[in-house]
């Protein structure tokens, strides 16, 4: 999957779940990182690497990683 395809899939999922639009916080040639603000002081970070086809996620609460 290409970065553009992953971004579209993530956007579609967020719309379906009524989540806010993901914001790009870091983008490189083969990777991209998004942040989805789900409530005050709480967000989900999602990282995708096109070369290795890996995706990771983390729950961030008050600027601290609490899961992932």
Write the Ramachandran bin of 18: left for phi over 0, alpha for psi from -120 to 50, otherwise beta.
left
> Which pLDDT score is estimated for 49?
98
pLDDT classification of 22: cutoffs 50, 70, 90: very high
- Evaluate whether 50 touches 1 at the Cβ level (below 8 Å): yes
Q: pLDDT, tens digit, for every residue of 37-60?
A: 999 999 999 999 999 999 999 999
Cα–Cα distance measured from residue 62 to residue 54, given in angstroms and rounded to the nearest whole number: 26
pLDDT at 39: 93
Tokens read off for 61 = 């609460």
pLDDT at 4: 96
């Amino acid at each position: 999957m290409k970065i553009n395809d992953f971004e579209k899939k993530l956007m579609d999922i967020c719309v379906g779940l009524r989540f806010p639009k993901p914001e790009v916080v870091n983008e490189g040639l083969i990777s991209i990182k998004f942040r989805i603000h789900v409530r005050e002081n709480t967000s989900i970070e999602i990282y995708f690497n096109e070369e290795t086809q890996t995706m990771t996620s983390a729950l961030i609460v008050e600027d601290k990683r609490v899961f992932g």
